[in-house]
Structure 1
Amino acid sequence: MSFKTEPTGYEKTALSDLQGAWVNLRNAVVDEFGFPNSDKLLFQIDEAMSWESVRNLNHMKSTLLLIRNITSQTESPEEVIFWVNEVKESLDGTFKAIASGKAK
């Protein structure tokens, strides 16, 4: 009986970039928590990072649009706005990678 071994190297992909951007956005909201609608943002970020959204990137895209609307209508900290934009760029990159066959 053979056991599957853990790979020693990992390939950086569009999906790993996307995951990292979401984690950084969530951390920025937690670090700055207390600004208007920070609780709503945290809820929506957790929704976007949920298994349902990861399996359906169009759902993630819709949730990101809602997050962008909340941050644009609120006095969100610059760090939060920066990471919202990074998530948007990473999600766009993921869709491009999928379209080109580089991600599934």
Structure 2
Amino acid sequence: MISGKFFALRVCGHSMEPRIQEGDVVIVRRQNYVENGEIAIVLIDGEEATAKEVKESADGITLIGHNTAVYTPHFYSAQEVKNLPVQIIGRVVQSIRKF
């Protein structure tokens, strides 16, 4: 069992298809870090929250959508991460889909 504080978000958009689809509800464990390759909710410029696979390095952070026809990977430099800011607010632990 995973412990911690959790929240839910309804997904808008197609960038994480086919794994996570528009209209799905994702359950998110509130945390400010994830391991490389995990899917996170990332807040960009304090306004836009997005679900993406995360790859971090000393140079910055790359956000990767699984549907490359809709979303190409986007790199934010370490300076952009600090100035915009780009913040990890949680790790997606479950996706719920209505049939």
- Higher relative contact order (CA closer than 8 Å, sequence separation 6+): 1
The structure that is helix-richer by fraction is 1
Task: Tell whether the structures are fold-level matches, with TM greater than 0.5.
Answer: no
When normalised by structure 1's length, the TM-score is 0.26
Q: Which has the higher strand share?
A: 2
Bigger radius of gyration: 1
